[in-house]
Structure 1
Amino acid sequence: MGKKSISNELIKKCSEYYNSDLNNKVYSDAVIRNGLVDVALRHDAIANMHFHFSEEIDVGKVTNQKKTGRCWMFAGLNCIRHSISKKLQMEEKDFELSQNYIFFWDKLEKSNLFLENIIATIDKDLEDHEVIGLLSSPVQEGGRWGLFAKLIEKYGVVPKYAMPDSKASEDSKMLNEILNYKMREYAKILRGMYREGKLIDDIREEKESMLIDVYNILCRFMGEPPKTFDFEYRDVDGDFHRERNITPLDFYNRFSDVKPKDYIVLVNYPTEDKPFGKTYTLKYHGNVVDGEPIKYLNMDIDVLKELAIAQIKGGEQVSFGCDVGKMSHREFGIMDTNLFNYETVLNTKFIMDKSDRLMYRASGSSHVMTFVGVNLVDGKPNRWKVQNSWGESEGNEGFYVMSDEWFDEYVLRVAINKKYVPKEIIEAYEQEPIVLSPWNTLGPVF
């Protein structure tokens, strides 16, 4: 079947349709002068989405990931920060954990995983679709709760003063460019060794030399992670405390009651290829190479809500992943499906539901934040309080409000402590995961 080009006759029909309704010209003038967001914004939606919640956790100030894809680290560290400050009765507003420290180890671990994946596909042709996929984005910056858990359990955490942010950890574009260039260079070398008949043991030995090079590069950009540090703080009564020469892992194990390994991740992907009640993982997915897959249990959205509410009531934040760019306004800090009247302004219809959007890649997990509150009316939620990591200049001092309808449509995953999860869901989560392709819609959107 041949392809058909745009004809003059079709263009004439388009013009006739556009000019057949005077409202089209009115809306065009408004959007041209003011932009779609301001023209389509429903001000009654703003009035309905106020910052009052029946259940709320005081978590202190928001943090700022700046020009990086570290949202998932910030969300996880915010949960641990709150746990530590609560346990030690610290002034939480003055306490923050080092995101730069976790960022360093994530880059190193993802470099190792990429090189291991190159070795796993070393006999495939360079034009093989999996090899192309690996080389297209060697060290991705995004992540999820499962990736965060592996880093924390292996490396611990440190206060921000022990490893402050660097220029590269606040704006990672150049670091990513250099690191991904090196990964592709290393891939060329390892694949060349294989074609020269080198043994896999020799190839892995060369890989270790490459990781030494990566470590050196990361130190230049971010500094070397501390092996020990002095933990000093004042509690809410003003008393001073000091722990000398503590390691990051001891610090985490001793002072954080939030242990990511105690959580499971529930997702809501209502698509034909992923039935509810089954666990899933992605090929080549992760950061730390340890043989344990990062998996997700697919459930109905009401289950995610019920368990998130239970965790908030228990005084714990809920880390969640969502499609943050849809029907949201950064200045007002509002996420609501009724926020914009796009259909009227653009004179069109948007007919895809959540399943359609996911299957046709019109939606996906693009950001991670935490729930810190919910407003319940007769036991049912209508608004959710969200702690973001975009600084204090947006929303309500950096906090956002989400409608329950937005939760239905755009929340995709939540991390829930097992103590809030019914036994039958735990048993379902313990199933062997179905391995999906690296590019399945369960993966992130970058």
Structure 2
Amino acid sequence: MSASMVAKYSDKIQTKPKNRIIKDAIMKNGINAATLNNDAVVSMNPVFSEDIDTGKVTNQKMSGRCWMFAALNTFRHKLNSTFDLKDFELSQNYTMFWDKFEKSNYFLESIIDTADKPTDGRLVSWLLATPQQDGGQWDMLVSIIDKYGVVPKQVMPETFQSSRSVELNRLLNAKLREDAIHLRTLFEEGKSRQDLEAVKEGQLEDIYRILVFSLGEPPKTFDFEYRDEEKKEFHREIGITPQEFYKKYVGLNLDDYVSIINSPTKDKPYKKTYTVQYLGTVVGGRKIKYLNVDMETLKKLAIRQIKDKETVWFGCDVVLYTEPKLGIMDKAVFDYDTAFSTKFGLTKAQRLDYKQSCLTHAMVLTGVNLVDGKPNRWKVENSWGEDRGHKGYFVASDKWMDEFTYQVVVNKKYLPDELKAAYDQKPIELKPWDPMGALALMK
């Protein structure tokens, strides 16, 4: 790259007076603020023909538990409606504790499974890169709920580290990598799998202690007291277990809910199911399973559930074309093309194949605006607190949904028979680093 090339590039910028104005605006205000398209802001009217009243939003604060908050929010919507509660929350700290404990065990089991493989190979390098983290997927939470149930937030409230997880993650991952070295060294010395499992049990004791000191110890039983807001009646449940609480007060059969994805890449034909190697939480628990469909089908399934007044967990790439302060998600919200005199024109498939996009965040669809039966914008419940968007609720254009939504979770009763049969297929295994193995973890 020669000096003359650089001079040519500079001359082209200098010959257009408007470039100075664009440059000054971006340098002073930043790219997104300088390229904000007010027409897109005006068009994202937060009014919807199908709208589920879900109350006050939650706040995951400085943690990557969006997938967990989103799932528990769908549960609390049902619970609040059934028992006439107001802004009741389930404990995200409780599920966080068991998720991290189970992820630690899952990692150590994976290290034992791959003890004969080189540390600089792609698989072991991938495992060691992030032994555990905040992020997750719907099926991973289902495994936690199936095993441990849920508790009200009052029973196991947030702590400093649950709301600001970076230090806890750093400490856990340091310990787990140290444990991985120990296990692999024992394998090289000829120790049996049984020997390694016994050592792992002692390692998990350390992990449990770190989690208890950071997050508190999960209750085995608790008392549940609440007041019916409508009837003004007081209720008390003594000595209930987390599993009993889920069954009695939430009562959703999670086996009825399936993950539907849209991945329009050549390697993933539609109407096929997929799973991801070495992606999970509970060893022996529910495996990741997706059914891949076209985007129109995915949206129709979500709309059917919303029309039945049930909210929808969904996964997307919130990083792209989102104005978080205003709560707008729209492909037109930032006019990068005009500002920089270039084009950003990758297709959804190309963004996945070339690592430009993947699932980064999970939220809840609580409404949709239909015009002649077709959606033009969607109501989104986020978990970033009330100071963003419309008291925590965002508006997504239908075009944004098409481009940056990758997953919804719906009751399988909404699937036509053809898709029910397709979901029952044995899933095709994807590599751990496949884009569909990305975890929702945005803060």
> TM-score per shorter chain, which class?
over 0.9
* 2:46 counterpart residue number: 51
Please tell me whether the aligned partners of residues 226 and 235 of structure 2 are also in contact (alpha carbons under 8 angstroms): yes
The alignment status of 1:78 with 2:78, answered yes or no, reads: no
| Structure 1 residues 146 and 243, CA gap change in structure 2 (3 angstroms) | same
TM-score by length of 2: 0.97
Q: How many residues align?
A: 439
- 1:202 match: secondary structure: helix
Aligned pairs (5 A) from 1:419-438:
419-438=413-432
The alignment status of 1:355 with 2:345, answered yes or no, reads: no
The alignment status of 1:295 with 2:295, answered yes or no, reads: no
Q: Distance in 1 between matches of 2:13 and 2:435?
A: 36
* 2:34 counterpart residue number: 39
Please tell me whether the aligned partners of residues 143 and 285 of structure 2 are also in contact (alpha carbons under 8 angstroms): no
Please tell me whether the aligned partners of residues 358 and 441 of structure 1 are also in contact (alpha carbons under 8 angstroms): yes
* 2:392 counterpart residue number: 398
Q: Distance in 1 between matches of 2:288 and 2:196?
A: 26
Q: Percent identity, aligned pairs only?
A: 50
- 1:29 match: secondary structure: helix
The alignment status of 1:210 with 2:209, answered yes or no, reads: no
TM-fit CA distance, 1:291: 5.9
* 1:314 counterpart residue number: 308
Q: Distance in 2 between matches of 1:422 and 1:209?
A: 49
The alignment status of 1:116 with 2:94, answered yes or no, reads: no
TM-fit CA distance, 1:292: 4.4
TM-fit CA distance, 1:20: 3.1
Please tell me whether the aligned partners of residues 322 and 412 of structure 1 are also in contact (alpha carbons under 8 angstroms): yes
* 2:361 counterpart residue number: 367
TM-fit CA distance, 1:140: 2.3
TM-fit CA distance, 1:213: 1.3
Aligned counterpart for 2:383 among listed residues 383, 389, 393: 389
* 1:277 counterpart residue number: 271
Q: Distance in 2 between matches of 1:47 and 1:258?
A: 38
TM-fit CA distance, 1:17: 2.5
* 2:244 counterpart residue number: 250
- 1:355 match: secondary structure: helix
* 2:181 counterpart residue number: 188
Q: Distance in 1 between matches of 2:286 and 2:386?
A: 37
TM-fit CA distance, 1:260: 2.6
Name the stretch that deviates more: 312-321 or 292-301: 292-301
Give the letter for the 1:192 counterpart.
T
Give the letter for the 2:199 counterpart.
E
- 2:283 match: secondary structure: coil
- 1:189 match: secondary structure: helix
Aligned counterpart for 1:346 among listed residues 321, 340, 346: 340
TM-fit CA distance, 1:16: 2.3
Please tell me whether the aligned partners of residues 316 and 361 of structure 2 are also in contact (alpha carbons under 8 angstroms): yes
Q: Distance in 2 between matches of 1:269 and 1:253?
A: 34
Please tell me whether the aligned partners of residues 24 and 347 of structure 1 are also in contact (alpha carbons under 8 angstroms): no
RMSD: 1.1
Aligned pairs (5 A) from 1:91-110:
92-93=86-87, 95-110=88-103
Q: Distance in 2 between matches of 1:7 and 1:169?
A: 52
Q: Distance in 1 between matches of 2:90 and 2:419?
A: 32
TM-fit CA distance, 1:21: 2.3
Q: Distance in 2 between matches of 1:314 and 1:257?
A: 17
Q: Distance in 1 between matches of 2:216 and 2:381?
A: 29
TM-fit CA distance, 1:39: 1.4
TM-fit CA distance, 1:421: 1.6
Please tell me whether the aligned partners of residues 370 and 388 of structure 1 are also in contact (alpha carbons under 8 angstroms): yes
Give the letter for the 2:261 counterpart.
V
Please tell me whether the aligned partners of residues 139 and 287 of structure 2 are also in contact (alpha carbons under 8 angstroms): no
1:19-52 deviation line (CA, Å, top 9, x unaligned) = 2322222211111122111211111111111111
Aligned counterpart for 1:172 among listed residues 161, 165, 179: 165
**Long gaps (5+) in structure 2:** none
1:277-315 deviation line (CA, Å, top 9, x unaligned) = 111111100111116421111110011100000000111
* 2:258 counterpart residue number: 264
* 2:323 counterpart residue number: 329
Name the stretch that deviates more: 42-51 or 185-194: 42-51
- 1:279 match: secondary structure: strand
TM-fit CA distance, 1:211: 1.0
The alignment status of 1:411 with 2:405, answered yes or no, reads: yes
TM-score by length of 1: 0.97
Q: Distance in 2 between matches of 1:350 and 1:256?
A: 45
Please tell me whether the aligned partners of residues 79 and 258 of structure 1 are also in contact (alpha carbons under 8 angstroms): no
Give the letter for the 1:153 counterpart.
D
Q: Distance in 2 between matches of 1:147 and 1:89?
A: 29
The alignment status of 1:150 with 2:134, answered yes or no, reads: no
Moved over 4 A (4+): none
Aligned counterpart for 1:68 among listed residues 63, 71, 95: 63
Please tell me whether the aligned partners of residues 385 and 399 of structure 1 are also in contact (alpha carbons under 8 angstroms): yes
* 1:11 counterpart residue number: 6
Please tell me whether the aligned partners of residues 72 and 144 of structure 1 are also in contact (alpha carbons under 8 angstroms): yes
Q: Distance in 1 between matches of 2:391 and 2:201?
A: 45
- 1:419 match: secondary structure: helix
* 1:133 counterpart residue number: 126
TM-fit CA distance, 1:208: 1.1
Q: Distance in 2 between matches of 1:432 and 1:20?
A: 61
Q: Distance in 2 between matches of 1:62 and 1:335?
A: 18
- 1:18 match: secondary structure: helix
Give the letter for the 1:60 counterpart.
G
